[in-house]
Amino acid sequence: MKVPRLEYSSKIDIPDGLEATFRKTTDHFELLTSALIQPKIRVYPKVDVIGDYWLFQIGSSLMEIEGDTHRVIKCDTNQCNKAWGVHYVKVGSEIERIYFLNNKYVFKNDEYETLISYFGTTCLMNKGKGIIFKNGKIFDFEDLKLIGTSRAGLSLIREGETTLLGWDNSVQKFKIEGIILYHNINDIIFKDPEDKLVINDRTIGTCKENADVIAGGHGWYLISCGNLVRQYFWDGWRSVRTGIYPTKSDGSENYVALVSEGKTEIFDNNFKLLYELKPATVGVGRRKVVIYRKKTVSIIDLSDLLEVKIEENRPENIISIRVPEGYVIETDKFLPKVSSRKVNGYVVEQFEYLGNYPRMSFNLLSEFISSEIPISLNEEPIILRFKGNLLVADSFGRTKDNNGNAILSGELLINRNIRSEAVLRISLDSLHKEIKAKFSDKRFVFNESLRVPAWEKSHKEIRFSLFVNDMEISSLQALVPVVKIEKPKETKKLFIDKGHIFLEILRSEDKNFIFDTVKVHPKYKQPVEIIVNSVLDNSKKSRVRFDYKYSNNTVVMRMFLYKLIRNPKIWIEGNYLNVDPNISLSVPVQIFYGTSAYFGLPIRVLFPFDPIYDLIVIRVFVGNTEIEERYRIDSLNLGFIIANASSMKIKEVTESVGVL
């Protein structure tokens, strides 16, 4: 595929809501809008904007813009309030209003039947009398039959003649009656008052709507009638397109650009479609096309075509796409970019194929083009395998990083290397964990801490999902062997001073896990009586307060616990009951549910859910004092809910494979 060379692109700040068209001379293009006053904008051979003052109509009001200053001028006179509509014109340094009322146009108390507005020029006409507002000046004309506009200029039609006021301020007279659409040394094309289209003295057709000549070449003309565009060639007509915006379209003897609602089509002079661009306003020269779209002016050279090149490196699963500077590539989600560089006016981008589809595509984009280019690939999909074990600590052991009670240890194997940054998601029941995955020689070795419930079986089903740019590129459901790690026999003692108590910790550990047995000792040598008052007072900043006194050679310590066991968090995940005791002190705790029990420091604990049991007991030990709270759950109803959810999931799976 070849695309035209982008000569340059430049931003240009034109207010929103204005109609635009290009007006061309022999050596440059100018951009005109429907504004009353606008800067002079020349866009070729380079963008040159003189001035920054804009004045244009929005509804019945005027918008004035100068630099960063915006001002709305509202029409709030009695005449504006009565009028059906208001149209503004510039006369000298003043802005005048034309009111539309009772199907008449009123200017300076004179009524007119017709109003024509064409990119800053306004015409009024009634019974042979005409007024034209052009370039800030007002012109009066008498004995007029008709006034009309086209690319050629403003036609004033009288008996037996037509005066053409060119947009370049030229004045020409022709011995014909009609709106002049085009003229050169050999031909004059016009539309007469009876809606006939005439070349010289020969009628070639009719048009009851606005007509114009968009382009002309050797023996042919491209003529619009409303939004229909047809080619007149060797005394015959050929329909080209419908739904065209004539003022946004343009052509030359070599190329034609037709703009419709959703696209811009560029043809050669044989009307072979060359390119389909985004909708825009275009001006066409002999070789180059000027494009205005969304505040950007671009110039492309249709005679200088550059190739878009696609190369495949199958051993590395890499696709290289080379495009000219000014164009960008947007690829399918299974083609993430891995590198980009500029080489001699081109951009070379490399993409890695990660998908399962042999036929894919990429989009070639710029300010003015969006083209889909298909590509064919024969690479096999990415396949994962896992080799390893799930190490689970017995006897309430924990990992050395304190992030769980189990370690998934092994290697993830892949059938081909990937260069993109990948993320591995590990899913075990309702638990999920994501880690960065960097493959080397098609292997990714890892040891990852997990928090899992007690598991009595020899294997556990784990899902491995590989993501690139938040997109899953492959997955594996593996049955992983479970290896229970027993508490080592060798122990050591640790003492921790918690202020009011000593924690004596008997610790056993191996290279992966720590197993602690915690004993609590008061710090006082003489007998201590601890009286615990549980107080619910959220206004207290401290959760624990101590009062001391002596009584019968014994220290009596009154401990005020402000809701020591706060509302525990209890919820169901999958088939497991989660219990977070939510305790404000680092003190020993016991949690009982059914036939399961936990003893240790306060952490979230998972128990196998059994609808038979509805009681949860939480005990906290402070010194020689034991605090117990009991909680009931609606276990039977929860069991029904879980069973129903499981049955619905089974139903979805079986239906998807055709089992009813």
**DSSP state string for 237-265:** EEEEESS--TTT-EE-SSEEEEE-SS-EE
Give me the helices (H) in 174-321, please: none
Is 592 part of a structural domain of the chain?
A: yes
CATH code: domain of residue 409: 2.60.40.10
CATH code: domain of residue 579: 2.60.40.3530
pLDDT of 588 above 90: no
Residues 161-174 have a mean pLDDT of 92
State the pairing for strand pair 615-622/589-593: antiparallel
Is 461 part of a structural domain of the chain?
A: yes
Does the model's pTM come out above 0.85? no
Residues 348 and 393 in one domain: no
pLDDT, mean over the chain: 85
Residues 198 and 122 in one domain: no
Is 590 part of a structural domain of the chain?
A: yes
Written as one letter, the residue type at 312 is E
Q: How many domains would you assign to the chain?
A: 5
Residues 643 and 574 in one domain: yes
pLDDT of 420 above 90: no
Residue in 280, 274, 294, 368 with CA at minimum distance from that of residue 22: 280
End residue of a domain, out of 108, 143, 178: 143
Residues 388 and 372 in one domain: no
CA separation for the pair 303, 2 (Å, rounded):
11
End residue of a domain, out of 186, 208, 230: 208
CA separation for the pair 317, 324 (Å, rounded):
23
User: Which strands, in side-by-side order, build the sheet including 61-66?
Assistant: 53-58, 61-66, 69-73
Residues 133 and 150 in one domain: no
Quote the pLDDT of residue 659: 38
Highest mean pLDDT among 113-127, 523-537, 583-597: 113-127
Of residues 77 and 148, more confidence is placed in: 148
pLDDT digits (tens, 9 = 90+) for 21-45: 999 887 789 999 999 999 999 988 8
End residue of a domain, out of 465, 484, 503: 484
CATH code: domain of residue 180: 2.40.10
Is 435 part of a structural domain of the chain?
A: yes
Residues 371 and 395 in one domain: no
Quote the pLDDT of residue 645: 64
Is 29 part of a structural domain of the chain?
A: no
Reading the block at residue 402, the tokens are 């304190």
Is 498 part of a structural domain of the chain?
A: no
Residues 187 and 104 in one domain: no
Q: What is the rounded end-to-end Cα distance, in angstroms, of the chain?
A: 51
Quote the pLDDT of residue 555: 45
Residues 574 and 646 in one domain: yes
Residues 389 and 358 in one domain: no
Residues 586 and 646 in one domain: yes
Quote the pLDDT of residue 358: 63
pLDDT of 20 above 70: yes
Residues 189 and 149 in one domain: yes
Reading the block at residue 107, the tokens are 């200017």
Residue 493, number of CB atoms within 10 A of its CB: 9
pLDDT digits (tens, 9 = 90+) for 55-72: 999 888 899 999 889 999
Is 66 part of a structural domain of the chain?
A: no
Of residues 490 and 555, more confidence is placed in: 490
Task: Determine contact, residues 208/217, Cβ cutoff 8 Å.
Answer: no
Quote the pLDDT of residue 558: 52
State the residue range of the domain holding 445. 384-484
Is 480 part of a structural domain of the chain?
A: yes
Task: Determine contact, residues 142/128, Cβ cutoff 8 Å.
Answer: yes
pLDDT digits (tens, 9 = 90+) for 623-639: 666 778 888 888 777 77
Residues 564-590 have a mean pLDDT of 81
Q: Which residues pair with 559 in a beta bridge?
A: 532, 546
Distances, alpha carbon 232 to alpha carbons 220, 316, 523, in Å:
6, 56, 108
Residues 391 and 475 in one domain: yes
CA separation for the pair 498, 587 (Å, rounded):
9
Written as one letter, the residue type at 645 is A
Residue in 217, 219, 221, 173 with CA at minimum distance from that of residue 197: 221
pLDDT of 527 above 50: no
